[in-house]
Every structure is written in C-alpha cells, then in structure tokens.
C-alpha cells in the first residue's frame, strides 16, 4: 500500500533519462518475437519433472525443506516469472550492454532473457550450486544461446578473482542477505563505470534486503535509484541530478 501511494508512472518522471527509460522500456507493450523463445524456455522448465539434489547457498529458501527438488519446482519458486523474463529482455534490449554480470543463475531464465535482449552482449552468470548449474548449461545448449559464459563458483570467489574489466550491466540475484549484498556491491565498484546499471532483485524480500536497498541507494557513489518494488535500480551518472524514484510497473 505504502509503495503504491508513493509510486509514480512515466508522467511523474521529470528527468528525461528516466522518462525515456520508463516509456521506451518499462511500459513498452510491443509483442517482441523473442517473447516466444522466452515462453518456450519457461515452459520447458515448468514441465521438467526430473529431481536434483540442491545444496542451498546464500539466504536459502523460504519454501523448500528438502535438498531433493524437482526442476519444475525450483523454476517456479526461485526463478524469474515469464513477466520478469520479458522485463529483463526489454532492459537488455534497451540498454544494449556489451558486458553483463549476473550473480545467481539458477536455471538460467534471467541470463537467457538478458542474452536474447542483446545478442552482442557477453554475459557472465555465476551459480554456486553444481547440480543447478548443470541444468542451466543443458538448457542454454538446448536453446542455442551462445553469448552466455556460465561459471560454477561461489560469488565471493568469483569476485575476488576479477581483474581488469568493466561491466555495463550488473544483476544481483542471489544470497539475499544484508552483509553479502553490501559486500558484493562494494567489491564490484572498481568494475563499474559512469553508465553502469546495477539491478538488485527482491529488495523487499526480507528486512535485511530492505536495509541493504536503503543503504545502497544512499551510497556516496550512487546518484539515482529506481524502486519498482521487485527490482531496485542504481545509477552512477554524474551528469544527473541526484534523485530517488519509486515507479509502479
């Protein structure tokens, strides 16, 4: 309720950068032909009745109580919905990032959507659970996607091993806890630039995530933020007036 009362639509966004993002991406109603491929990927997972053994990493699950899980159930509980896949596709299509980092692959629904949005992007996606990673790999191959590099590692190990590179787009969707989220952001800062877009998933998932979001949007290097309730966007664009937006998708 509070979110809805504070949020605006495109007409409440006076910054041209934000207005364009909202009208040309957030609220774009075009039925892109790629949506069929997203739906297909989504449906394949929803019908996959195989069971795998998953070792929970990060904040764990609020739903699963056993390590043995059906792929269809993992997809439903911890992966992007079809609507979210379409949204991520549009974001990637709109921003055209050359270099993308995702922390938290799960079964690859978000990475696949980002990859389809910009086939010229090189996408690195990191997943700590080996069994989940194997399924994502299988699905990327089955769906003929070539611009994703899937890395099976703990987020910390991956970030600590990064050397000189810059990401245009970073999507943080795993280990939804306060300290790790703040640490990942801080450690990834040297790998960002003025136009990097950082997106945090599930910013209202828990009190820890709400705190992480509130701290990150006040970070001295962050200039603007957008809170869409599900996602939190962080921007660094120095040329932009500092502002926080709440947008109802």
Ligand X SMILES: C[S@@+](CC[C@H](N)C(=O)[O-])C[C@H]1O[C@@H](n2cnc3c(N)ncnc32)[C@H](O)[C@@H]1O
Answer yes or no whether residue 129 interacts with ligand X by CB under 6 A.
yes
User: Which residues, 55 to 114, sit near ligand X by CB under 6 A?
Assistant: 57-58, 78-80, 104, 106, 109-110
Q: If we measure between CA atoms, which residue out of 120, 132, 41 comes closest to residue 78?
A: 132
User: What Cα–Cα distance (Å) separates residue 247 from each residue in 23, 94, 226?
Assistant: 12, 17, 7
Size of the site for ligand X (CB under 6 A): 19
Q: Which is nearer to ligand X, 92 or 175 (CB)?
A: 175
Answer yes or no whether residue 232 interacts with ligand X by CB under 6 A.
no
Least CB distance to ligand X at residue 76 (A)? 11
* Strands, sheet with 122-127, edge to edge from the N-terminal-most edge strand: 148-152, 122-127, 99-103, 169-172, 197-201, 231-235, 224-227, 243-246
Q: Which is nearer to ligand X, 116 or 126 (CB)?
A: 126
Least CB distance to ligand X at residue 122 (A)? 18
Answer yes or no whether residue 132 interacts with ligand X by CB under 6 A.
yes
Answer yes or no whether residue 127 interacts with ligand X by CB under 6 A.
yes
Least CB distance to ligand X at residue 180 (A)? 7
From 20-28, 35-43, 139-147, 168-176, span contacting ligand X (CB under 6 A): 168-176
Answer yes or no whether residue 168 interacts with ligand X by CB under 6 A.
no
Binding ligand X (rule: CB under 6 A), the pick from 174, 197, 236, 245 is 174
Q: Which is nearer to ligand X, 91 or 126 (CB)?
A: 126
Q: Which is nearer to ligand X, 18 or 145 (CB)?
A: 145
Please report, as ranges, the residues that interact with ligand X according to CB under 6 A.
57-58, 78-80, 104, 106, 109-110, 126-129, 132, 154-155, 173-175
């Amino acid at each position: 309720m509070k979110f809805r009362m504070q949020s605006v639509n495109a007409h409440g966004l006076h910054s041209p950068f934000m207005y364009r993002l909202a009208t040309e991406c957030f609220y774009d109603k075009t039925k892109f032909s790629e949506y069929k491929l997203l739906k297909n990927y989504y449906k394949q997972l929803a019908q996959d009745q195989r069971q795998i053994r998953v070792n929970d990493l990060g904040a764990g699950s609020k739903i699963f109580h056993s390590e043995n899980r059906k792929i269809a159930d993992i997809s439903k509980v911890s992966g992007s919905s079809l609507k979210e896949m379409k949204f991520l596709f549009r974001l990637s299509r709109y921003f055209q990032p050359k270099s993308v980092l995702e922390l938290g692959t799960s079964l690859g629904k978000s990475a696949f959507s980002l990859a389809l949005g910009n086939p010229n992007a090189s996408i690195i996606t990191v997943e700590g659970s080996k069994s989940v990673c194997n399924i994502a790999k299988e699905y990327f191959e089955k769906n003929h996607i070539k611009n994703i590099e899937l890395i099976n590692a703990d987020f910390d190990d991956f970030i600590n091993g990064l050397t000189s590179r810059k990401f245009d787009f970073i999507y943080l969707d795993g280990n939804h806890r306060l300290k790790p989220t703040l640490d990942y952001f801080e450690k990834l800062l040297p790998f960002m630039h003025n136009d990097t877009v950082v997106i945090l998933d599930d910013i209202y998932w828990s009190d820890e995530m709400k705190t992480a979001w509130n701290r990150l949007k006040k970070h001295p290097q962050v200039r603007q933020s957008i809170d869409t309730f599900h996602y939190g966007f962080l921007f660094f664009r120095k040329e932009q007036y500092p502002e926080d937006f709440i947008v109802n998708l």
